[in-house]
Structure 1
Amino acid sequence: MDGYKAFTARMARRSRKKKARKNDCAIFTCYLMKRVVLNQDFSAKVDSDVMNRFKAELIEALVTPTLS
């Protein structure tokens, strides 16, 4: 029974970590989107240069935590 309890505790910890990481990514995505929108005039479309920079930052932000 002790082995089972240890296993379930380990799985719960892993699940919480994964949720936290997903949440961090979501928060960061919102932050970047706000930055992109606030730096632009609302009537103007977001130009491709800004969008490409946003994509690059987002990819970097999502990939970096998994590598470290």
Structure 2
Amino acid sequence: MLAVWRILAQDPFLLEARSLFVPCNSHSLQILIGDILNIPYYKIVHTQLTSIITIFRASPKQLALL
């Protein structure tokens, strides 16, 4: 967990968002994820991934192939 915390603390997108990093704290992890999803680049990626997942979940044949 500490290794992930260190990696995230060096991410330039998160540094621009002025995110607060507190290791081993579930609430701060939830806040961090919220901060990540508010960054435009990650918001676009999240939206695209959500649409792909929705399509696969709605199609049993494609889900079985995956």
TM-score range, shorter chain: 0.3 to 0.5
Q: Which has the higher contact order (CA 8 A, sep 6+)?
A: 1
State TM-score, norm by structure 2. Answer: 0.35
**Which structure has the larger Rg?**
1
Between Structure 1 and Structure 2, which shows a larger proportion of helix residues?
Answer: 1
